[in-house]
Chains A and B, each alone.
Chain A
């Protein structure tokens, strides 16, 4: 992702939707021009002065959000789901629901001059697909305004709501995997998710020389599932060396892995040009 962003120069808009573990900024040097708070969900707040210790809240909470010690009641913020049930049953209105700031999102200029939209979710926050949607929509807005045809989206791992949100409306998905039992297993799960969206997809196999049997299995699976094989990159520690210097691989050197990435980017761009906008 870092390398593609670098290769795309200022011709594209970057959306870092891996909001839970956002690392891309370490490679692309964003300048955080604009920052906005992100609010999601509610937290129950208990006013002890109004509380008569009746325990009605405790009896309805499904999440251990209310805890009692020696007859006094308190909200356990880490467990509170924000449903508001306790507020509704409290006879003295001692509980209020407050919207929570759970993160921030930013619009920046990256070190290659492209607009980058990224976010940081607070620890323990609900991994909301809406923050991802916000990052994407802002990226789309910029792309439109700047006349950029390609939006490159860095998605998060897994199959939950954040991944769904990153995938929706995309024209092309690039999977990154490795020839290992976990790589194949996880790819199968995410492929099933993507099938529901009917998006064209391709795959880059990282560390391709790790296990030849797994590699064969992976390539067979991809062929059966209709996933294009974009490229294979051999196990290469220059990725880390580049990361240590805060550089994307293609900036760092022009070695074999770098060459593969450059070719892959050309392939992906070509697809975008023939099929229309990559959203």
Chain B
């Protein structure tokens, strides 16, 4: 299973970034390989407008099965998201990455 997280940092102890379009980092966890990779989103956050769709495009290109985030996508980002099969889990806004994953696995946060 491949998980994507919107994050404020690059490690398991980093906090979830509640925003999607202007998230600072995108983290990808591949549980088969047990690997966590971090991708900076700064090029997109610097854009004056249209950050939502671009960030979602980037996430789709990374091919996760599930996205765990805080607030969820705005209107335009949601439109782009709907072209994929990625499951979106919201409500992780105050957690650290590893806590968010646990919360999802124990059904404490859902889509």
Is there a contact between chains A and B in the complex with CB atoms less than 8 Å apart?
yes
Chain A residues with CB under 8 Å of chain B are 40-41, 126, 128-130, 133, 137, 161, 168-169
Which chain B residues lie closer than 8 Å to A169 at the CB level?
Answer: 71
Contact (Cβ within 8 A) B49 A130: yes
A interface secondary structure, majority: mixed
Closest CB in chain A relative to B68 CB, distance in Å: 19
Contact (Cβ within 8 A) B22 A133: yes
Which chain B residues lie closer than 8 Å to A40 at the CB level?
Answer: 48
Residue-wise, chain B 50-94 has the 8 Å CB interface mask toward A (1 for contact) of: 000000000000000000000100100000000000000000000
Bound Cα distance A243, B49 (Å) = 36
Chain B residues with CB under 8 Å of chain A are 22, 47-49, 71, 74
Which chain B residues lie closer than 8 Å to A133 at the CB level?
Answer: 22
Bound Cα distance A169, B21 (Å) = 13
Which chain B residues lie closer than 8 Å to A128 at the CB level?
Answer: 48-49
Contact (Cβ within 8 A) B49 A129: yes
Contact (Cβ within 8 A) B48 A130: yes
Which chain A residues lie closer than 8 Å to B22 at the CB level?
Answer: 133, 137
Bound Cα distance A251, B49 (Å) = 40
Closest to A137 in B: B22
A137-B22, A169-B71 known; 12 new pairs, CB 8 Å cut-off, are: A40-B48, A41-B48, A126-B48, A128-B48, A128-B49, A129-B49, A130-B47, A130-B48, A130-B49, A133-B22, A161-B49, A168-B74
